[in-house]
Amino acid sequence: MAVKTLQLFESYLPNAQNWVFRMLNNLPDTEVNVAAYRYYNEQFVTQKINLLPMPEYVSPELLEGRDQAKNIFSKIINRISILRKNKYYFDYIGKWARENGIEIIHTHFANMGWQYLELKKITGLPYFVSFYGFDYESLPFRFQEWKKRYQSLYEQADGFVCEGAFGASILINQGCDPAKVHIVHLGVETSKIPAVARTKNEGELHLLQLSNYSQKKGHIYSLQAFIQALNDCPNMTLTFVGNELENIKGNLEALVKQHNIEHKVRFIGFIEFTKLYEFFGKYHVFIHPSCYSDTRDCEGGAPIVLLDAQCTGMPVISTTHCDIPEEVIHGKTGLLTPEKDADALSGSIRTFYNMNNNTYQQFATAARQHVIENFDIKPCALQLQQLYNTIVNH
């Protein structure tokens, strides 16, 4: 019998969170039901995934922190209305869960874990929360009230899912019971990712960074290191692909113009997912120097795009940030340096620039093999399936 789960989100599902869809869609013996404050992106809906029909009043405006009222009287009125509508929403979901035999509730991102926590009381069902990135440290760092909310969440929820050992250690250091913390790797569909043949001669290098522009992605260090390396490595290009999130792109463009390297650095806004792997084939090395932001935002685990890139046979230049060393093996599938160290990063760029094709192919082969052996979506999904089975059986 398939385990009947209810998966809770803020929105289902942004393109940048496609790794959640991969995991849910590959669970072997799980019935996947989804509820969210907003549905969009039909590409992430399959016969495997059932979306609960939402009442008309449900929208992202009901989320805590979304009140845009300007005066205190309006804020009070709005807050009462939001609380009332959320109560109706939770009662609706709770009734649906009971009528449909739901056995486990799994909420995605810690802020939503707290938002939906009332459902734990309403249903009495096992309640699990997955952490992914900003929710590890940034929320309690930026907002004092979230420190108390996290403690309440750690006490009331039955379990927490992290994608690696570093992320798990963050929760434990914040006071979460270690027995409640479970590591489940996020994976990629390796059977659908083609091996892309590349030739890299000594004295050439085409670098790619693909991620939305936020401080933790380390774009500035990619560019600074590239500029440094250009003095010795003239036959290079760097391409950035992503959408603006934190007013970072403009600073990068200004720095490119300042150094007169517009012919060396390209900015692309969007690549369709269906064309992603073909696009990867134009580049030799994927660069992604993740780091902590000023607000303690972090990867928590590691960017899944590092797995996508490696699975095509593209080595990676990255950092020792969070769980990245689990995804990228230093000296074998890529090169890792301390975070926020442009000098060391520039050294990694020079190494690949001067690398001959024979050595490069060793990195490329090892990168693909590492992902296939350790991060294929099916065994990763099976890890989550086994966790669900253990909960239901006990």
Domain boundaries, the chain: 3-187+376-393, 190-374
**pLDDT, greater one: 69 or 181:** 181
Task: Give the span between the Cα atoms of 140 and 171, in whole angstroms.
Answer: 12
- pLDDT average, residue stretch 96-101: 96
The CATH architecture one would assign to domain 3-187+376-393 is 3-Layer(aba) Sandwich (3.40)
Q: By percentage, how much of the chain surpasses pLDDT 70?
A: 97
Task: Give the span between the Cα atoms of 213 and 244, in whole angstroms.
Answer: 5
- The answer on pLDDT for 245 being more than 90 is no
How does residue 3 score in pLDDT terms, banded at 50, 70 and 90?
very high
Q: How confident is the model at residue 178, as a pLDDT?
A: 98
How does residue 83 score in pLDDT terms, banded at 50, 70 and 90?
confident
| Adjacency order of strands within the sheet including 127-130 | 49-51, 30-39, 3-12, 104-108, 127-130, 159-162, 181-183
Asked if residue 281 lies in contact with residue 251, where contact means CB atoms within 8 angstroms, the answer is no
Alpha carbon dihedral 50, 51, 52, 57, in 10-degree steps, equals 180
- pLDDT average, residue stretch 339-345: 97
3-class secondary-structure state, position 289: coil
- The answer on pLDDT for 66 being more than 80 is no
- pLDDT average, residue stretch 132-158: 94
Same fold, 3-187+376-393 and 190-374: yes
Asked if residue 336 lies in contact with residue 315, where contact means CB atoms within 8 angstroms, the answer is no
- How do residues 153-194 score in pLDDT, each as one tens digit? 999 999 999 999 999 999 999 999 999 999 999 999 999 999
Q: How far, in whole angstroms, is CA 80 from its chain's centroid?
A: 34
How does residue 71 score in pLDDT terms, banded at 50, 70 and 90?
low
DSSP letters, 152-213, are HHHHHSSEEEESSHHHHHHHHHTT--GGGEEE----B-GGGSPPPP----TT-EEEEEES-B
- The answer on pLDDT for 299 being more than 90 is yes
- How do residues 343-366 score in pLDDT, each as one tens digit? 999 999 999 999 999 999 999 999
- pLDDT average, residue stretch 60-70: 74
Q: How confident is the model at residue 276, as a pLDDT?
A: 87
3-class secondary-structure state, position 19: helix
Burial tier of 273 (Cβ tally within 10 Å: 0-12, 13-18, 19+)? exposed
pTM for the model stands at 0.91
CATH tag, 190-374 = 3.40.50.2000
- How do residues 113-134 score in pLDDT, each as one tens digit? 999 999 999 999 999 999 999 9
How does residue 67 score in pLDDT terms, banded at 50, 70 and 90?
low
How does residue 271 score in pLDDT terms, banded at 50, 70 and 90?
confident
